[in-house]
């Protein structure tokens, strides 16, 4: 199937009859909304769990939690977030070699739902471990293949691409808003297990909408493009069994514990990421032009990791911050600590469509200069600098707990930052992807989130050992430096193929 057919496979038939030269490229393909829906509900369940997970682990049994230490809770939360995205390369490989992407997404959703049901019904540490393991496997199967299918809806340089990703990302933010509101309320009023149950129901709704719209996804997603030989299947099974045996040995000998789990997760993420880059850079399937584009992605991978380290502290550093440092009452109303992150999401939902509309408007004016990808990403980091600078200043202004309104302002700035950066980064990863490694490149972009989630656990532990002003000042300096570096390398990266 040609790129043109792929881009417009889900368009109405009357559009398909038009010549490529005359066909307008403003209307988004129908498949975008099918894929946005399943990802929105997956994010509903994911973020609904994330906002209450750390509290569930370190709250006492009397408060419905497991009673572990705060440090263990942050380590487990970071490790879980990292492991969720670490599973993405495996899910991408399965879709490329064994099971079509369309089927992988459906299977992943079912496994995710089973994980949330386990958390809701099985008490204690056993329920936590089994539930998180199932969600990790399911997300690895679902997320990279949804992202890949979104990329295949468009031609390589379609002006609709960035706006399409912005719409897709807005759907993610809607799920990220409603999920925490539902689980946070249920956890406060009825207990943690009711919150986990709501996450399972959300995933069920997503599976239903995806099944009904399954025929609107790109044709390419209905077959495995590079099927593996029978001998390769046995080798893959052997590797999987060996890895499970290794984990069992580490747990059995006490080398792997809840306290150091995040160390192993981060190390594994680094190893897998390096291997992916080496495979793509050495592959004969990658053309010389694509080889340059893979090189251009290396600095974006590093800066993407830094970005997600900052953002995903919402579930580690800022979870503890909301619980211990913020006045959560408004008049007679006492707000659940889990709701703090929703203000970040609300800001993103409002800003996302506005940014998408502006980007599409600029793209429709051929004589108007469009900022480079690096410039857009660098601006996102400047906004991130402002976010952490605000939280560094607050302890100097307010005594005791921080009032809710200033914290909400900080969350709003962070939300705008996320929608300025994340869709552009996702679009850049798709743009730089080699044809033979499209799914793997999107999984590699997912590994920036994995590394960021894992590092956010370490940042949460660092926050616990430092005073607020030095900690948030350090985060602001790192963000500023990263933004300046991105802006300074925009021309070399453009020469390598980044628009």
In a domain, 417, yes or no: yes
In a domain, 20, yes or no: no
In a domain, 149, yes or no: yes
Report residue 193's pLDDT band, with 50, 70 and 90 as the boundaries.
Answer: very high
Is pLDDT at 451 greater than 90 in this prediction? yes
- State the pLDDT at residue 173: 77
Is pLDDT at 412 greater than 60 in this prediction? yes
Mean confidence (pLDDT) of the chain: 85
Q: Residue 178: which of 195, 191, 165, 192 has the closest Cα?
A: 195
For residues 42-55, average pLDDT: 93
Strands in 233-354 per DSSP E: 329-330, 333-334
Percent of the chain at pLDDT > 90 equals 43
Is pLDDT at 21 greater than 60 in this prediction? no
- State the pLDDT at residue 368: 64
| Total number of domains in the chain | 1
Range of the domain at 446: 26-495
Which of the pair, 245 or 270, is modelled with greater confidence? 270
Helices (runs of H) and strands (runs of E) counted in the chain = 19, 2
The burial class, CB within 10 Å (0-12 / 13-18 / 19+), for 22 is exposed
Is pLDDT at 329 greater than 80 in this prediction? yes
Q: What is the CATH number of the domain that holds 109?
A: 1.20.1250.20
In a domain, 17, yes or no: no
In a domain, 225, yes or no: yes
Q: Among 312-326, 363-377, 408-422, whose mean pLDDT is lowest? A: 363-377
- State the pLDDT at residue 138: 94
SS3 390: helix
Q: Secondary structure of 413-474 in the HEC alphabet?
A: HHHHHHHHHHHHHHHHHHHCCCHHHHHHHHHHHHHHHHHHHHHHHHHHHHHHCCCHHHHHHH
For residues 209-233, average pLDDT: 79
pLDDT tens digits along 70-105:
888 999 999 999 998 788 778 888 888 888 888 999
- State the pLDDT at residue 391: 96
In a domain, 18, yes or no: no
Q: Among 4-8, 268-272, 369-373, whose mean pLDDT is lowest? A: 4-8
SS3 85: helix
For residues 95-122, average pLDDT: 92
- State the pLDDT at residue 471: 96
- State the pLDDT at residue 107: 94
pLDDT tens digits along 289-310:
888 888 888 999 999 999 999 9
In a domain, 433, yes or no: yes
By the 8 A CB rule, do 220 and 6 touch?
yes
Highest-pLDDT range among 7-11, 15-19, 194-198, 361-365: 194-198
Q: Residue 220: which of 73, 368, 3, 65 has the closest Cα?
A: 3
- State the pLDDT at residue 11: 40
The burial class, CB within 10 Å (0-12 / 13-18 / 19+), for 245 is exposed
- Within 10 A of 120 (CB to CB), how many other CB atoms are there? 20
Main-chain phi, psi angles of 326, to 5 degrees: -115, 135
Which of the pair, 241 or 403, is modelled with greater confidence? 403
Highest-pLDDT range among 226-235, 342-351, 400-409: 400-409
In a domain, 14, yes or no: no
For residues 176-182, average pLDDT: 91
Percent of the chain at pLDDT > 70 equals 91
Report residue 118's pLDDT band, with 50, 70 and 90 as the boundaries.
Answer: very high
What predicted TM-score, i.e. pTM, was given to this entire model?
0.81
- State the pLDDT at residue 366: 67
- Within 10 A of 291 (CB to CB), how many other CB atoms are there? 17
Q: Among 87-96, 234-243, 461-470, 472-481, whose mean pLDDT is lowest? A: 234-243
Cβ neighbours for 215, distance < 8 A, ≥ 6 positions apart:
none
């Amino acid at each position: 199937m040609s790129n043109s057919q792929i881009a417009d496979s889900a368009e109405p038939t009357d559009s398909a009859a038009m010549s490529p030269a005359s066909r307008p490229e403003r209307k988004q393909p129908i498949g975008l909304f099918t894929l946005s829906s399943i990802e929105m509900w997956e994010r509903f369940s994911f973020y609904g769990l994330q906002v209450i997970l750390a509290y569930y682990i370190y709250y006492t049994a009397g408060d419905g939690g497991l009673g572990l230490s705060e440090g263990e809770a942050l380590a487990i939360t970071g490790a879980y977030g990292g492991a969720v995205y670490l599973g993405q390369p495996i899910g991408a490989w399965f879709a490329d070699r064994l099971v079509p992407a369309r089927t992988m997404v459906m299977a992943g959703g079912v496994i995710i739902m089973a994980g949330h049901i386990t958390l809701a019904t099985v008490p204690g540490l056993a329920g936590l471990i089994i539930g998180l393991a199932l969600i990790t496997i399911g997300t690895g199967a679902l997320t990279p293949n949804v992202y890949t299918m979104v990329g295949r809806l468009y031609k390589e340089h379609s002006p609709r691409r960035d706006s399409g990703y912005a719409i897709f990302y807005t759907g993610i933010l809607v799920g990220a808003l409603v999920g925490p509101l539902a689980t946070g309320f249920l956890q406060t009023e009825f207990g943690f297990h009711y919150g986990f149950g709501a996450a399972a129901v959300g995933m069920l709704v997503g599976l239903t909408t995806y099944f009904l719209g399954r025929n609107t996804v790109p044709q390419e997603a209905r077959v495995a493009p590079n099927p593996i030989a029978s001998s390769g299947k046995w080798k893959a099974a052997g590797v999987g069994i060996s890895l499970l045996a290794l984990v069992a040995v580490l747990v059995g000998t006490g080398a792997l514990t809840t306290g150091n789990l995040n160390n192993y997760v981060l190390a594994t993420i680094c190893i897998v990421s390096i291997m992916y880059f080496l495979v793509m850079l050495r592959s004969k399937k990658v053309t010389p032009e694509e080889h340059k584009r893979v090189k251009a992605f290396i600095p974006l991978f590093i800066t993407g990791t830094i970005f997600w380290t900052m953002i995903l502290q919402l579930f580690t550093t800022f979870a503890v911050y909301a619980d211990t440092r913020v006045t959560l009452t408004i008049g007679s109303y006492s707000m659940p600590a889990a709701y703090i992150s929703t203000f970040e999401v609300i800001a993103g939902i409002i800003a996302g469509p506005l940014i998408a509309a502006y980007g599409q408007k600029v793209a429709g004016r051929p004589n108007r200069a469009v900022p480079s990808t690096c410039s857009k990403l660098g601006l996102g980091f400047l906004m991130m600098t402002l976010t952490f600078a605000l939280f560094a200043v607050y302890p100097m202004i307010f005594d005791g707990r921080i009032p809710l309104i200033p914290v909400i302002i900080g969350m709003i700035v962070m939300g705008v930052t996320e929608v300025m950066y994340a869709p552009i980064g996702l679009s850049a990863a798709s743009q730089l992807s080699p044809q033979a490694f499209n799914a793997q490149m999107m999984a590699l972009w997912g590994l920036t989130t994995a590394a960021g989630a894992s590092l956010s656990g370490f940042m949460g532990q660092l926050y616990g050992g430092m005073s607020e002003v030095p900690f948030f000042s350090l985060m602001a300096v790192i963000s500023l430096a990263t933004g300046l570096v991105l802006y300074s390398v925009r021309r070399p990266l453009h020469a390598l193929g980044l628009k």
